[in-house]
Amino acid sequence: MIDVPAGLAAAQEKYNKEAGRAFVAALPDLTAAFLDRWELRVTGTPMHGVSALVLPVDRADGTPAVLKLQLRDHETDGEPAALRRWNGDGAVRLLAHDEPTGTMLLERLDASRMLAHRPDVHEGVLVIARLLARLHATPAPDGMRRLGDIARSMLERTPAVLDRVPDPAARRLVADCAAAVREVADEPGDRLLHWDLHDENVLAADRAPWLAIDPKPLAGDPGFDLWPALANNFDPDDIAWRFDAMTDVLGLDRARARAWTYGRLLQNCLWKTEDGRPLDENDLEIARRLRGRGGGRTR
């Protein structure tokens, strides 16, 4: 019998309420069923984030793997299709998948060697940029949620949210982000994006120095994938360097990449305001520091 970690149960209660409680209640039986179905043996301590239980296991032939069980939603539904499309090129390899529950069996990477453990933040940003270049080389499969739909929804919701932002300077900044998104919304792109590639979602492996895990994939413009590396290990004086370095590695048009990065900031602002929370000052500072990072192609 698997004990559900208290941190996972608390996160599910906080973010998913009744659906989260039902998911946590079903986890022990669900886990047991997949251990039996895929002939797996638990070989380590359960791990978890906000949304998933991850168990180190061995397959019947002794191959190490991890069993990932998570609550299905619009962000996680595309993960198996994305991993299947990447097929291990820059990302963890999918070994098996159960469509009804979203349960996955994944290649086991080295969780003790996480990019976040490396002290050189600049090295980490460049690692992420190079991984994104590999991931973005792949067009998104049919059925993937699309940035164009997300952008239209954000722009429709922006006027009501602006009315709820009390600080005039912050309100102008959010409006500027929306204006930038409006200029590029008709060309949202078709690349397969990770959406959440920060240094805790990059692990080492024997077959590759670094691989991405835990995508929340969508089809869109690569500029929409830069924000996590700008916001992680936040340093306002480093934002311009990170943005320029990533757009250099990815060969992006800086003005367009800045517009889609503003889209991520707008997305955050909409979520926070609609939930009744204050805007994040770090998000606003990223927007301020990106002013003037336009221009032509970076290579």
Whether 58 and 51 have beta carbons less than 8 Å apart is answered as no
Catalytic, out of 196, 244, 253, 280: 196
The three state secondary structure string of 30-43 is HHHHHHHHCCCEEC
Distance CA 133, CA 74 (A): 24
| Active site (annotated) includes residue 248 | no
Residues known to be catalytic: 196
